[in-house]
Chain A
Amino acid sequence: MSGLLRYALQRLLLTIPMIFVLLTVIFLVIRVIPGDPISMVYGGRPVSEELKAAKRAELGFDKPILVQYGIYISGVFRGDFGVSLRTSTPVLQELFSRFPATIELALFGLIVAAILGFSTGVLAATRADHPTDHAVRIFHIASFAVPVFWLGLMFQVFFSVKLGWLPVTGRLGGQMAFSFEPITGFYVIDAILHWDGKALIDVLRHLALPALTLGIATTGLLGRMSRASMLEVLDQDYVTTARAKGLPERTVVLRHALRNALIPIVTVFGLELAVLMGGAVLTEHVFSWPGIASYLIRSINARDYTAIQGSVVFIALFISAINLFVDLLYSIIDPRVRY
């Protein structure tokens, strides 16, 4: 365990330069490339030079670039993400209030993707080169090719407008939106904590389409990994041994092969998360989901420069943390990995 602890510390130390790089990239994208953030603040409207200069001084843009960088980095590490130009509230506060919505959506999306991906991947691997396999492969490739936002809109057209089964947008419907009191911000958990069955059903009904959209659109990666990993494992000698001693195929696949096949899949979870976050931007936008991704889009449209920078930094930190977690998880799941 001390080896694991040492690895955890090493990995944590490696994450720090990575975060620095991401922060620097974001800083450079916003400052160095053409497009003056100041005229962005005014949305391209003609503004007097004095006003621009005043705003520039207020935001610290008149300082040398290295000083700006220092202020920016130290701000991030002190948890100071600046104040939104649009709403005048601290950006971090806005992000924290929206974060649970994004996490809830991403988690349920991940569950959909995992269930669909694992089951189809394993199914295809056990029937390699048969029509089922081909059908699954086409499904996986198609899942890569479907625009998330389009899938969401089609679901809305079909399930909400045509059939009227599920709500079109939002996290809560009608009166519930006013009477519901969030505790944790994760509405599914909140509804359970309130012991309110009606609210829970309403929350889940609102969650169904966004989660399904995000899940299906990101199934491909997990599905392909599951299939490849399962095929690899089914080729192993111990699987042959299990078959040779007369175990039914079902037992061989489910008890002997599956567990080992799952190990490498954990490694793509970090990558899957990046895909999910990208997909979440569009899913939240389409379903008016009040998460950080829709906040980012709204900030971009409003030219709210501090909010843009803050949300991107927030997402970067979150992804770094998850990647660190996945790496550590991997060493715990696979006993062969020793540090």
Chain B
Amino acid sequence: MSDTPERDEIRRSFLTSGVLGLIRAIGRGRIALHRQTVLKVGLVIVIAFLLMTAVANIWPSLNGYSPTLYRDAPRLEGPSPSHWMGTDQLQRDVFSRILGGGYASLIVAFAGLALSMISGSVLGWISGYSGGWLDRILSLVMDAVYAFPSLILAILMVAMFGAGIGPMIWAVGVVYIPTYFRVARAESMQVRETTYIEAIKAVGASRTRIVLRHVAPNTVNAIMAVSSFNLADAILTVAALSFLGFGLPPPAPDWGFDIQNGQKYLQSGSWWLITFPGLMIITLSLGFGLIGEGISDLVNPKRRRKHV
């Protein structure tokens, strides 16, 4: 793949200001997405899901059936022209529940991500830049948490906090802190050794200023690339928590919870109760995963061949 000037420009702008650069490049019509099929597909999926969820939560009965009202449809019937994805045991239309069922996943994934990204990155910058005993202690704690299965930790936290959106945000937020800590720390350790940091130090800039103005911006790319994969994983974590019954209280539509509900009718062959919510979770998680792939490719062209 040859490097076109546009590509170069995109990469440069992207490197200077992360996602903002990407958005600006798209805004300027510099065909930032040229040949970035993976990124494009991912963006289309995620935007479509965001729109669908928003619209379905404003007008719940979008397709003519209510997602929460009982006895709005026949009981446990397979997909048909009037009920595209069948109906459940409480006589609700599955499709109308599918449309709005991503609400909790998206809110929790984004809010949790913001929480873990900010706290993890700040700790990582400080730890990586300052080094010494603080770095050693923080790294030890973060590595220990990182090695532990994140899902089990999330379940544990939600079990203590109680079910619902708020507790899930905390759980997801805390569980992913080490991910950002590791990335931010590694990057800031690299930046610390560069000559320009030495130059700024020589001018007499304060440590806070160096970390916030000079170290942090240089680590944004790596953090952004990780965050997208992280969102893909967070969607699955939220789905698992809802599946285990720690999510939204019924009758609110929720993919994870609806799968748990469908499990009871699996033996009688009601496959549609499980299949469709699951496909939604996969598609959304895949969308974030593809964006992650795309961003990584853009930021690091050498990686394109290796895809580490």
Q: Which residues on A sit within 8 Å (CB–CB) of B153? A: 29
Chain A residues whose CB sits within 8 angstroms of the CB of B149 once the complex forms? 274-275, 277-278, 281, 315, 319
A232 within 8 A of B: yes
A161 close to B266 (CB less than 8 A): yes
Give B261-278 interface residues, CB cut-off 8 Å to A.
262-263, 266-267, 269, 271, 274-275, 277-278
Residues of the A chain whose Cβ atoms lie less than 8 Å from the Cβ of B277:
150
Number of A-B contacts (CB under 8 A): 158
**What residues of B have a CB within 8 angstroms of the CB of A18 in the complex?**
140, 143-144, 147
CB of A35 within 8 A of chain B? Answer: yes
Q: Tell me the A15-39 residues at the B interface (CB within 8 Å).
A: 17-19, 21-22, 25-26, 29-30, 33-35
A308 touching B147, Cβ below 8 Å:
no
> CA–CA, A228 to B148, complex, Å?
25
Instruction: Select from chain A the residue with minimum beta-carbon distance to B285.
Output: A145
Q: How far is it, in angstroms, between the C-alpha of A312 and the C-alpha of B154 when the chains are bound?
A: 12
Q: List 25 A-B contacts (CB under 8 A).
A: A26-B156, A30-B156, A30-B160, A33-B161, A34-B161, A129-B305, A141-B286, A142-B286, A144-B229, A145-B282, A148-B240, A150-B259, A150-B277, A153-B262, A157-B266, A157-B275, A227-B307, A274-B147, A274-B150, A281-B149, A282-B151, A285-B244, A300-B159, A308-B159, A320-B147
- A316 and B240 within 8 A (CB): no
Asked whether B289 is an interface residue with its Cβ less than 8 Å from the other chain, the reply is: yes
A-binding residues in B (CB < 8 A): 140-141, 143-145, 147-153, 155-157, 159-162, 229, 232-233, 236, 239-240, 243-245, 256, 259, 262-263, 266-267, 269, 271, 274-275, 277-278, 281-283, 285-286, 289-290, 293, 305-308
User: A142 CA to B141 CA in the complex, in Å?
Assistant: 31
For B159, what are the chain A residues with a Cβ–Cβ distance below 8 Å? 300, 308
CB distance from B158 to the nearest CB of A (A): 9
Cα separation A207 to B229 with both chains bound (whole Å):
31
Q: Which residues of B contact A286 (CB under 8 A)?
A: 263
> Quick check: A147 and B281 within 8 Å, CB to CB?
yes
Contacts of B155 in A (CB 8 A): 281, 296-297, 300
Chain B nearest CB, measured from A232 CB (Å): 7
Complex CA distance for A278 and B277, rounded to whole angstroms: 21
User: How far is B289's CA from A224's CA once the two chains are assembled, in angstroms?
Assistant: 13
A187 within 8 A of B: no
Which of chain A's residues have a CB closer than 8 A to the CB of B281?
145, 147, 150
Contact A281 B152 (CB under 8 A): yes
Min CB distance A38 to B, Å, is: 13
Residues of B within 8 A of A281 (CB): 149, 151-152, 155, 240
Contact of B305 among A17, A128, A300 (CB under 8 A): A128
Q: Which of A19, A21, A156, A224 contacts B308 (CB 8 A)?
A: A224
Q: Give the interface residue-count category, chain A.
A: 35 or more
A residues adjacent to B (C-beta < 8 A): 17-19, 21-22, 25-26, 29-30, 33-35, 40, 128-129, 137, 141-142, 144-150, 153-154, 156-157, 161-162, 168, 224, 227-228, 231-232, 270-271, 274-275, 277-279, 281-282, 285-286, 293, 296-297, 300-301, 308, 312, 315-316, 319-320, 323
CA gap between A281 and B262 in the complex, in Å: 19
Q: Which 8 A-B pairs have the closest CB atoms?
A: A150-B278, A278-B149, A278-B151, A145-B285, A21-B144, A145-B286, A228-B308, A277-B149
A146 proximity list for chain B (CB < 8 A): 282, 285
Whether B160 contacts A147 by the Cβ 8 Å rule is: no
- Closest chain A residue to B286 by CB distance? A145
Residue of A at shortest CB range from B167? Answer: A35
How far is A296 from B290 in the complex, measured between Cα atoms in Å?
33
Among B161, B278, B289, contact of A147 (Cβ-Cβ < 8 Å)? B278
A296 to B158, CA, bound (A): 13
Complexed CA–CA distance, A162 and B267 (Å): 9
B283 neighbours in A (Cβ, 8 Å): 145
Query: Is A277's CB under 8 angstroms from B144's CB?
Result: no
Partner of B148, one of A142, A153, A224, A274: A274
In the complex, which of the residues A22, A147, A278, A312 contacts B239, with contact meaning CB atoms closer than 8 Å? A147
Cβ of A21 and Cβ of B275 under 8 Å apart? Answer: no
Cβ distance A177 to chain B, nearest Cβ, rounded Å: 18
Given contacts A22-B144, A128-B305, contact A145 B150 (CB under 8 A): no
